[in-house]
């Protein structure tokens, strides 16, 4: 009897040990895969940071053109060709958007690797970057796109121009030049023009503030991934 009981214990603990070893191997593999994906995420975030700089620079250039147009509308100082150039700059750039690449983050979530990340602040920042900010970004971009269309349609009879695309500088911006143009004599007597300029300025400023939050979060995450 004791012999059978001893053999039973040997088999039982042997099976239990094999399960423990198997689970340990699987856990180790999951940790390795998690670390690999976090390394890839760090590279993707670095790419996104470079892309964000381009978008921010483009929007700041747009904002400068808006300021010039507002000042000129009130003071009538610029030649029509300069006004049209800045108007084109605003029309083509005000609704440029930024969205971080989500594929690596989605893999981490779908593979349930988030639970393996011990740094709670890192997990919170990832959720803020790819979930909370994304919801705000989608809403802001939709409003900007709709306003951009409204801006162009409302002022189409007051500012006419044709553009030529010279070359592609990057994935965000285009090198264009004005082919021909015409500004209506009613342009500076229509308060609608100033209203749209001021509204565009407000919307671009708000979006730049949202992008600032993206920049701060990506900087924090990048530092946390390297530690």
Q: Give the residue-averaged pLDDT of 65-72.
A: 98
Q: Which residue stretches of the chain are H helix? A: 2-75, 80-93, 103-110, 120-127, 133-155, 191-226
Q: Which residues pair with 176 in a beta bridge?
A: 165
- The string of pLDDT tens digits covering residues 117-149 is 889 999 999 999 999 999 999 999 999 999 999
Asked if the model's pLDDT at residue 14 lies above 60, the reply is no
The whole-model pTM stands at 0.84
* pLDDT recorded at residue 179: 80
Question: Rounded CA gap, 214 and 111, in Å?
Answer: 25
Q: From CA 59, how far away is CA 211, in angstroms rounded? A: 10
Q: For residue 75, what are its two tokens? A: 């003071």
pLDDT at residue 95 above 80?
yes
Higher pLDDT, 32 or 31: 32
Cβ–Cβ < 8 Å for 116, 37: no
State residue 107's pLDDT score.
93
């Amino acid at each position: 009897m004791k012999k059978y009981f001893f053999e039973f214990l040997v088999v039982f603990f042997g099976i239990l040990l094999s399960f423990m070893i198997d689970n340990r191997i699987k856990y180790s593999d999951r940790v390795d895969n998690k670390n690999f994906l976090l390394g890839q995420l760090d590279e993707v975030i670095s790419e996104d940071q470079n892309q964000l700089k381009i978008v921010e620079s483009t929007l700041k250039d747009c904002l400068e053109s808006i300021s010039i147009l507002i000042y000129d509308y009130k003071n009538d100082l610029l030649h029509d060709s300069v006004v049209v150039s800045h108007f084109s700059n605003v029309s083509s750039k005000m609704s440029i958007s930024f969205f971080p690449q989500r594929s690596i983050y989605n893999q981490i979530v779908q593979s349930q690797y988030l639970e393996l990340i011990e740094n709670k602040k890192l997990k919170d920042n990832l959720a803020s970057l790819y979930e909370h900010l994304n919801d705000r970004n989608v809403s802001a971009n939709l409003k900007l796109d709709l306003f951009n269309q409204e801006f162009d349609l409302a002022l189409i009879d007051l500012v006419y121009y044709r553009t030529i695309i010279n070359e592609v500088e990057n994935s965000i911006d285009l090198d264009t030049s004005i082919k021909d143009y015409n500004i209506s004599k009613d342009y500076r007597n229509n308060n609608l023009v100033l209203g749209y300029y001021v509204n565009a300025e407000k919307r671009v400023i708000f979006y730049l503030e949202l992008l600032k939050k993206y920049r701060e979060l990506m900087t924090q995450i990048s530092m946390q991934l390297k530690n």
